[in-house]
Amino acid sequence: MLQFVLIAGVVLIVIVLGFLFRINTLVTVVKGAEKHPETKSNKINGLLMFLFMVASLILLCWYSYARFDDYTMPVASEHGVVTDNLFWVTTAVTGFVFILTNILLFYFSFKYQYKENERAKFYPENNKLEIIWTVIPAIVLTVLVFTGWKAWTDITDAAPEDAEVIEIMGQQFAWSVRYPGKDGKLGKVDYRRIDATNNFGMDLSDRNAFDDFMAPRLYVPKGRPVELKIRARDVLHSVYAPHFRLKMDAVPGMPTRFWFTPTKTTEEMRQETNNPEFNYEIACAEICGRGHFSMRLLLVVEEPEVYDKWYAEQQSWLSQNPDYLSQIPVELEELAQISVENTKGNKETENKLN
Amino acid sequence: MATEHQLEGNGVSHDDHDHDHDHHQSFVSKYIFSTDHKTIAKQFLITGIFWAIIGGAMSIIFRLQLGFPNSNVGWLKPLLGQWITEEGKIDPEFYLALVTMHGTIMVFFVLTAGLSGTFSNFLIPLQVGARDMASGFMNMLSYWFFFLSSVIMMSSLFIQTGPASGSWVVYPPLSALPQAMKGSELGMTLWLVSMAIFIVSSLLGGINYITTVINLRTKGMTFSKLPLTIWAFFLTAVIGLLSFPVLFSAALLLVFDRSFGTSFYLSDIYIGGEALPNTGGSALLFQHLFWFLGHPEVYIVLLPALGITSEIIATNSRKPIFGYRAMVGSLFGISILSFVVWAHHMFVTGMNPFLGSIFMFLTLIIAVPSAVKVFNYITTLWKGNIVFTPGMLFSIGLVSLFISGGVTGIYLGNSAIDIQLHDTYFVVAHFHLVMGSASFFGMVAGVYHWFPKMFGRMMDEKLGYVHFWFTFVGVYLVFFPMHYIGIAGFPRRYYSFTNFDAFQSFTDLNMFVSVAAIITFGAQFIFLFNFFYSMFKGRRATLNPWKSNTLEWTTPINPGHGNWPGEIPAVYRWPYDYSKPGAEDDFIPQHIPFSATPESNLPHENELIAEEKEEEGIVVDETKES
């Protein structure tokens, strides 16, 4: 019933509007069809141009000021400070141009609206002006490019030697994290070895894989460079840690990397944001299917001491999955056993952090 | 006798005796399988409008999800069936399908076919002074390939597994593996087939536009006297001709990967509980090929809009376009540079960072010619005598949107800043303003401006004003807030933001955007009504309603097949002699010789009078020889 009333209402409104339009048209015809550009409409449109400019400038300034804290995200990495600065420098430069050109556009539209006894100025070209406004933007852009280029090369440069190496792998629709263990080296992987337990497809003929361990979250130490080795096992994903200004695609068949230095622990950020529930998060930024919007991984930044302690206590994947010992080549079996024995003692203290 | 020869000298095969057949054309050959460029243009326009409604409606459905994530949309069930879940929610995969189809439809079917297809077809022969396109038959094929491609794309909306849903960029492996999502099954195959046919259509059209502009210009219409619209259409066609084949190859290799077991883009994949045999492929290869078209594509949709705007702004400011040569130069600059900036879409895809640096430099260079265009538009308005026709309003709107969307390109072209902003709503805001809305405004401006030439009647101006202000304010209210959402880090193509603590704010702003989008979309029906009503009942147009200089206004109000009943007028001057000092009227059309306007000629133009006479003499001599 309600639906019927709604539909009837809409139809009625459309009919009334239609009639109004028709009457208006007929009135115009009666008044005389010939229209002159200096009619009221032209003045109203000119005035609206001006009003639009004023209103939108006020709205822009008010909203940008009032909601500043909502749209700026606290930054927690070293390079993030640099790119944020670039962002604000660019905002200052382009904001100036944006406001100036828009004001000129709307103001000229308003000011030079049609007047019957006036004539436009015949002003077809001025090469000097053209050169000025080609050269000035070119110089400004060159400056912006060079600062951006410097930051970009620093960020994408090879990670420092002592960086913590951690692997993060995307799959539909979750992230998995692997640490290299005590030897600091990630074991080889082969996607053909992936199964329900061996999520990463670890190749156990590589001795570096024996002490690798997984974690349910991405733990990183504050103040130390961290190099993420990024891969995907099914479709494209993209590691996106907004607070760290970090984004890099995960590509099946082509490992990628991104290194950064966290500057604030999770705890520090909780205090800074006055939010005891605060957590760093990693999201997926490359469309990957149905669950794209739900690929969440917690990222935890710890003080280096706490991190080191946690790291030392972790049990290797192999010691938790002894079934896979059978995959190890004969000549490496003894080595694997030792590696497994070494980490067994950690069982009780495991996962004290969380 | 001399007259007839002269006609042939202009490369025109029709003559008067062709026109006698006009009246005997059947309905089918006149309105359906027509080879007349004007009819084909209208076919492109109507099809484009149809697609725009579909594409726009899709965006409204996903805006409902983004603005009102908790609302029950069960009332859409009669329309969308199984895509609405039991709980009355939009299915997450259908959400992605909507985003994908909205992008594909708007970029290709509306702003490429609808814009270039309509206005290149309609205006090139009329403004360069030609009877028709170089090949009317190819032109007809171009439309019907587009139609076929449209039918296939449309049909993919109705299949069980739904249309393609890997976003309009269709990156593999997602789009290559049917296991990865439902949309990568039959829907993706149909997408690829449809796009392949679309490319054929686009190439047939483009070859025609280029050939016509180069070969069929009327006497005196040198390149330096071409209206800026024609320059824009010409360069657009060149860009399309060079870049669309690359998309074709990308699509072809994807078809091979999907259906014939090759590994161009696939490598080391474990999905659905099994390891695939593909190795050695590169997912990045597809991205390079795609964006080699994809970025020029941005200019394919934008340049025609800029061309249309140049013409409308000059006409309605009653002033010459400022810096004609700089405008042409910047069109050239943009066209050439558009080919060497594609990888700025790929800064964080794992591409070599050094390559990223190179593309950052090239990308920021392209901002220079774009800026020059804006400054020239503004200077054209300066000290003008501006008449706010609906077309003019939309053109001014375009310039504003082009500025607002353009400046954010400087952020995104800077690879260091792009790390954070890539694939966030900031990008969505950027390209919807600079490419989507700006081009759309150019298209609408063109319809208002050339409607009298197309249908012999005027569109209602008042409705046009209402349409403009709703649309202009609406577009800003929809897309400007997205900058804030983007700076706050919200990623694109997210069905919902509830899973992340970081993206909990801005529910109010998202709701606001959705309401603004619905109102803006609703306002387009004012245009639709105006368009179809005026086609039959609008005020009758006069010969030259906007007092414009270009050649199309020298044709009869309803030009027949062949455009000019008699001889094609020769051209003597550039198309922007508005408000020339000394002249009686504030405009002097292109076909008026300098010898007829001694009162307003500039010194160097008086010298041209002698040449005008000489040239006429030469032509007669040539025909005598032949």
Q: Let me know: does B368 contact A258? Beta carbons within 8 Å.
A: no
Q: Could you give the CA distance from residue B510 to residue B300 in angstroms, rounded to a whole number?
A: 31
The answer, for A208 touching chain B at a CB cutoff of 8 Å, is: no
Taking CA atoms, what residue in B is nearest to A110?
B386
pLDDT in the model for residue A323? 87
Interface with chain A: mutation pick from B346, B349, B490, highest number of A CBs within 10 Å:
B349
Inter-chain residue contact A253 with B360, CB threshold 8 Å: no
Q: Let me know: does B317 contact B386? Beta carbons within 8 Å.
A: yes
Work out how many CB contacts closer than 8 A connect A with B. 341
pLDDT in the model for residue B548? 95
Over residues A137-192, the pLDDT tens digits come to 999 999 999 999 999 999 999 999 999 999 999 999 999 999 999 888 999 999 99
Q: Of how many residues is chain B composed? A: 626
Residue A191 is nearest to which of B171, B174, B269, comparing CB atoms? B269
Inter-chain residue contact B318 with A71, CB threshold 8 Å: no
> β-pairing, A280-284 with A237-241?
antiparallel
Spell out the domains of chain B, with CATH numbers in brackets. Answer: 2-9+546-625 (no CATH), 35-537 (1.20.210.10)
Residue B368 is nearest to which of A137, A281, A288, comparing CB atoms? A137
pLDDT in the model for residue B621? 44
pLDDT for A352 beyond 70 = no
Inter-chain residue contact A290 with B403, CB threshold 8 Å: no
What is the distance, to the nearest Å, from the Cα of residue B135 to the centroid of all Cα atoms in its chain?
22
Which residues are within 8 A (CB) of B623 and not within 5 positions of it... i.e. 6 or more apart?
B2, B5, B6, B8, B9
Please provide residue B311's backbone torsions phi and psi, each rounded to the nearest 5 degrees: -65, -45
Q: What is the mean pLDDT of residues A61-90?
A: 95
The alpha carbon of residue A332 is apart from the nearest alpha carbon of chain B, in Å, by: 27
Closest by CA to B357, choosing from A249, A151, A98, A298, is A151
Which residues from chain A sit within 8 angstroms of residue B477, using beta carbons?
Answer: none
Please provide residue B408's backbone torsions phi and psi, each rounded to the nearest 5 degrees: -70, -15
Any idea what DSSP says for residue B221?
A: -
The alpha carbon of residue A56 is apart from the nearest alpha carbon of chain B, in Å, by: 9
Inter-chain residue contact A249 with B348, CB threshold 8 Å: yes
Residue whose pair of structure tokens reads 């205090």 in the numeric block: A271
HSE, CB side, 13 Å, CA atoms: give it for residue B349. 24
Which residues from chain B sit within 8 angstroms of residue A142, using beta carbons?
Answer: 364
Q: Could you give the CA distance from residue B380 to residue B63 in angstroms, rounded to a whole number?
A: 38
Q: Could you give the CA distance from residue A159 to residue B554 in angstroms, rounded to a whole number?
A: 68
Q: What is the mean pLDDT of residues B489-505?
A: 93
Taking CA atoms, what residue in B is nearest to A33?
B539
Any idea what DSSP says for residue B107?
A: I
Q: Let me know: does A212 contact A178? Beta carbons within 8 Å.
A: yes
Secondary-structure percent of chain B, ordered helix, strand, coil, rounded to 5: 70, 0, 30
Spell out the domains of chain A, with CATH numbers in brackets. Answer: 164-344 (2.60.40.420)
Inter-chain residue contact A41 with B462, CB threshold 8 Å: yes
**B131 band by pLDDT with thresholds 50, 70 and 90:** very high
Q: Of how many residues is chain A composed? A: 354
pLDDT in the model for residue B6? 42
A246 conformational bin, left if phi > 0, alpha if psi -120 to 50, beta if neither: beta
Closest by CA to B179, choosing from B276, B87, B294, is B276
Q: Could you give the CA distance from residue B308 to residue B305 in angstroms, rounded to a whole number?
A: 5
Over residues B34-66, the pLDDT tens digits come to 999 999 999 999 999 999 999 999 999 999 999
Residue B320 is nearest to which of A70, A124, A171, comparing CB atoms? A124
Q: What would the two tokens of residue A51 be? A: 């009003």
Please provide residue B236's backbone torsions phi and psi, each rounded to the nearest 5 degrees: -60, -45
| Position B200, amino acid | V
- Judged by average pLDDT, the poorest of A34-43, B365-374, B431-440 is A34-43
Inter-chain residue contact B269 with A233, CB threshold 8 Å: yes
Which residues are within 8 A (CB) of A305 and not within 5 positions of it... i.e. 6 or more apart?
none
Residue A151 is nearest to which of B96, B173, B416, comparing CB atoms? B416
Over residues B509-522, the pLDDT tens digits come to 999 999 999 999 99
- Complex confidence, ipTM: 0.91
Mean pLDDT of chain B: 91
> β-pairing, A280-284 with A297-302?
antiparallel
What is the distance, to the nearest Å, from the Cα of residue B431 to the centroid of all Cα atoms in its chain?
14
pLDDT over 70 percentage in chain A? 94
CB atoms within 10 A of CB B626: 7
> β-pairing, A174-179 with A237-241?
unpaired
Q: Could you give the CA distance from residue A234 to residue B273 in angstroms, rounded to a whole number?
A: 10
pTM: 0.92
Task: Give the burial class of A8: count Cβ atoms within 10 A of its Cβ; 0-12 exposed, 13-18 middle, 19 or more buried.
Answer: exposed
